[in-house]
Structure 1
Amino acid sequence: MLLLASVMAHYTWLAIDNLDDVSLQIQAEQIAENLQLTDGAPTLRLPENLQRAYDQSSGSYLYALIDSKRNILIASEDKARDVFSALSAEQLQRPESYFRLINGDGSGAPYYVLQKTLVGRPDLHVVVAQGHLHSDVYIDTLLTEFASHIGWTLPIILIGTLLFSVWTIRTSLRPIKDLSDRARMIRPETRGLRLPTSEVSDEMLPLIQAINTALDRFEKGFEVQRRFTANAAHELRTPLALLTARLDQLEESATAQQLASDIERMSRLVAQLLLVSRLENTTPNLEPGVDLNVVGETVVALMAPLAIAQNKAIALRRASAPVTVLAMHHQLEDAVRNLIENAISHTPPGTEVDVWIGEDGSLAVRDHGPGVPADLRERIFERFWRGRERSGGAGLGLAIVAETMRAHGGRVSVEDAHDGGAVFTLHLQLDKSAL
């Protein structure tokens, strides 16, 4: 835009400077074209429209034909004779010259004059003069010149400016988009990732360095918390084992049974904390060829005694063919165990927990409990959140399931069964190499 403004200012200056010269040149050429010499005597017959323009100019435009002795042979009007009477012999010596003349009586603004020697007649001179023009005349002329010489370039320049601006903005913002994509990849399991500091502008570098420093502090705090959880769980296992052993030496009583139940609950919490710690410290390494049918059989066989002890049943519906998925075998078994244990705790006595293996790489666990309200289906997967206090759980089982699925690149969903209860479904990646 600065370039456009500079070009326009320069062109306007040149146009104003040359406008009077061009106008006088055109007038002189028109007069010379219509001048005739008959037996050496000059006669001038201007076209009607041109003559009318001179007549209506009110003395703003003047012309005359003068010989070398400064005799005025033809003049547009008496005022032309008064003005051109001030011509000197020196001013008529050159083939073409520009100069200024004042009125014969010295009044009014000066005229700008062009004298031009006729081709082939060095003794005759066409003299044209232009008085002071109103600014509207210059403006109209400049607008006409602008439209014909520059105006047509404006749309091209504006379109070019728009395209250049779009390109500049998109180029400038592309590093921010790349950084945003990288930032979206930073999760608890990829907490070691940092935003790149190479190929970024100097203005953005301090912000990126500050974000990376903050991520370093978060990672250190996360590691401290993880180590504390793991160490605390390990340290608690031995006292709990000793308590269980000493409890066996006591006589059976209501108090002893309550203590045994509390110790069992604490042991389960410690085991879940260790499992959470192991999940956080494990780099996902999915194994090919893990058969969901085998995983389901193993966990159902393990959990069957627990269900039977509570007067509940558990059933497995296998897929008709092996369903091989990409998975971490032991972590997947832990997730399925937590899901079945949760279903057993919520299904009423005398009912059944159903486990289905889907050919699409899914494993569903259905209970006959009260179901899960729609507004709680996200919160139940949060750590230490317990929607039903009667369950007696610590609120870690479903959180372990959700984190295990994230590590597998899958997901867990929950919905109500059509005849009551809840259905939790694990969605895993099929092992395409085995298909």
Structure 2
Amino acid sequence: MIKLRSLSSRLIAYWIAGLFFVLVLAPVPAIVTVSTILAGYRHIPPLSGWTTKRSREIVLRSLHIDASGRKSIEPTDELRQYRMRNPEFRFTVIDAETNSIVSGSSTELGSYFGRMTVFDDIYFGFHLSDDTNKRSYGYLVSEETPNGRLHVATYGSYFQWEDVVFQMIHIDRNRDFFYFVALSIAMAVVAAVVIRRGLAPLHALATRIAAIDLNTIDQHFSAAGQPTETLPFIEAVNKAFERVNEGVARERRFAANSAHELRTPLTILRSRVETLDESVVKHELDRDVRRMQTIVEQLLVLAQMKERNYSESQPIDLNRLVLAIVTDYAPIAIDNRKNIEFDTPPHSIMAREHEWAVECILTNLIENAIRAEPVGGTVVVRLEKDATIDVVDHGGGVAPADRDMVFEPFWRREEMSPGSGLGLSIVKELVQLSGGRIYIADTPGGGATFRVIFAAE
């Protein structure tokens, strides 16, 4: 059995089932029909039209025509079984061409209708006056058949559930039944439209809930305009988001406080490293401390971005800002026997961003590019007129399968790879908070190109 998971589908299905029962299975009030069946009456006058139609079809399928064209009724197994189940069943078939009773018909009914001469377009119900069963009904029908026009009278048919199946199969041959089905479909369509319109506020609420992420989790959903049945659900969702928001706020405060507390000891540590004599160990310590400071500063920037309203951002000159960052990293690149190049349009490129967020993003990307660039190579930082910045290296590149993973926290290609695995994760969060996009492409000739797209002013 198919389970309906959609509330709309379930309501529509129940509506259709109800209409089908009322309009098709219960032409008379359902309580009368059901009570009659339960009372043990096999013959139900309101359904006799269905019963006699099926019995008439069974009789016509027993019609036989010999080589001379003479018609006769030769009972089939179907007709014999039907008569066994309906002991009072009688029928008469009259050939309209000769106005004669077809051989094999009931002589009793034939005596009633054999003297009739006008049958065209006749259809009526009757009850035999000498029949003591007052609930017995019959129908005389004049219809066109593949064997010519025939007048068929049937009498004494009892209702059977097979009559309902027959009626459903032959809906195209029963105008009233067709009207019932057509009306059911029309009303079901109306019900579908009404139900979907009625549930529109719920769908709108679901769309709003689906759009929530960690940056918009402080929203509260109003119950105004929502169905009464959904109010407990809305209240539960609001309380759940409140609990999650409180937890996220605690985690953010903890991260910001931790980063802030680490700034002072790292500054002291770096000043002490600088007092050491020049050596390979000093150079490595200075590099590691600088990397830790960078991560701490990035965490602080990220915490500030999440706590502040991003609408406070101001237009910034990307040419000036990127040039300053590239200039700062030129000595580091030279110390590592590498080069760095800045490619920019001649005019200013403006973007509405937080300057310290852009600094954090580019600092991380450029530092990674210098680390990946081969000795003697050149890192290229390219600023496009649509506020797009490319940071290009010519190192080993990033495999397509890893391009989503590199932005995950603590992910590193190899266990022995340098770094904490936090830098690119922080970069991606900052880019998303600024409303921008970041992705990785191949550098022609080998390497990786990190492309950041900001919103141009």
| TM-score bracket, shorter-length normalisation | 0.5 to 0.7
Moved more, 192-201 or 229-238: 192-201
Q: Residue 181 of structure 1 aligns to a residue in which SS?
A: helix
Q: Summarize the Cα distance change of 1:148–1:232 in structure 2 as closer, same or farther, 3 Å threshold.
A: closer
1:295 is matched with which residue? 321
Q: Name the CA distance, whole Å, in 2 between partners of 1:150 and 1:132.
A: 20
Residue 158 of structure 1 and its aligned partner are, at CA, apart by: 3.1
For residue 355 of structure 2, the aligned residue among 329, 332, 335 is: 329
Q: Name the CA distance, whole Å, in 2 between partners of 1:109 and 1:274.
A: 97
Q: Name the CA distance, whole Å, in 2 between partners of 1:58 and 1:208.
A: 75
1:272 is matched with which residue? 298
Q: Summarize the Cα distance change of 1:245–1:7 in structure 2 as closer, same or farther, 3 Å threshold.
A: closer
2:219 is matched with which residue? 193
For residue 259 of structure 2, the aligned residue among 233, 257, 272 is: 233
For residue 237 of structure 2, the aligned residue among 188, 211, 224 is: 211
Residue 387 of structure 1 and its aligned partner are, at CA, apart by: 2.6
For residue 8 of structure 1, the aligned residue among 11, 27, 49 is: 27
1:58 is matched with which residue? 107
Q: Name the CA distance, whole Å, in 1 between partners of 2:192 and 2:269.
A: 72
Moved more, 225-234 or 278-287: 278-287
Q: How does 1:22-421 map to 2 (within 5 A)?
A: 58-60=107-109, 133-135=155-157, 150-168=176-194, 170-171=196-197, 174-249=200-275, 259-285=285-311, 287=313, 289-387=315-413, 392-421=418-447
Q: Summarize the Cα distance change of 1:311–1:165 in structure 2 as closer, same or farther, 3 Å threshold.
A: same
Q: Name the CA distance, whole Å, in 2 between partners of 1:378 and 1:224.
A: 28
Q: Name the CA distance, whole Å, in 1 between partners of 2:135 and 2:274.
A: 129
Moved more, 302-311 or 204-213: 204-213
Moved more, 50-59 or 281-290: 50-59
Q: Mark the structure with the bigger radius of gyration.
A: 1
In the TM superposition, what whole-angstrom CA distance separates every residue of 1:179-198 from its partner, at most 9, and x where no partner exists? 33212321122121244433
Q: Summarize the Cα distance change of 1:235–1:386 in structure 2 as closer, same or farther, 3 Å threshold.
A: same
Mapped contact 2:315–2:352 kept (Cα < 8 A) = yes
Mapped contact 2:301–2:356 kept (Cα < 8 A) = no
Moved more, 374-383 or 321-330: 321-330
Q: Residue 8 of structure 1 aligns to a residue in which SS?
A: coil
Mapped contact 1:343–1:365 kept (Cα < 8 A) = yes
In the TM superposition, what whole-angstrom CA distance separates every residue of 1:179-229 from its partner, at most 9, and x where no partner exists? 332123211221212444333334433344333333222222211111111
Question: What amino acid is the match of 2:247?
Answer: G
1:25 is matched with which residue? none
Mapped contact 1:405–1:412 kept (Cα < 8 A) = yes
Mapped contact 1:316–1:354 kept (Cα < 8 A) = yes
Q: Name the CA distance, whole Å, in 2 between partners of 1:157 and 1:147.
A: 17
Q: Name the CA distance, whole Å, in 1 between partners of 2:22 and 2:135.
A: 36
Moved more, 238-247 or 216-225: 238-247
Residue 340 of structure 1 and its aligned partner are, at CA, apart by: 1.1
Q: Name the CA distance, whole Å, in 1 between partners of 2:455 and 2:243.
A: 34
1:28 is matched with which residue? none
Question: What amino acid is the match of 2:189?
Answer: L
Mapped contact 1:179–1:196 kept (Cα < 8 A) = no
Residue 378 of structure 1 and its aligned partner are, at CA, apart by: 0.6
- When the two structures are superposed, what TM-score results if normalisation uses the length of structure 2? 0.63
Moved more, 312-321 or 190-199: 190-199
1:79 is matched with which residue? none
Percent identical across equivalent pairs? 30
Question: What amino acid is the match of 1:58?
Answer: T
- When the two structures are superposed, what TM-score results if normalisation uses the length of structure 1? 0.66
Provide the aligned C-alpha RMSD in A: 4.3
Moved more, 269-278 or 163-172: 163-172
Residue ranges of structure 2 left out of the alignment (5+ in a row): 1-19, 34-43, 50-95, 116-126, 137-152
Question: What amino acid is the match of 2:22?
Answer: L
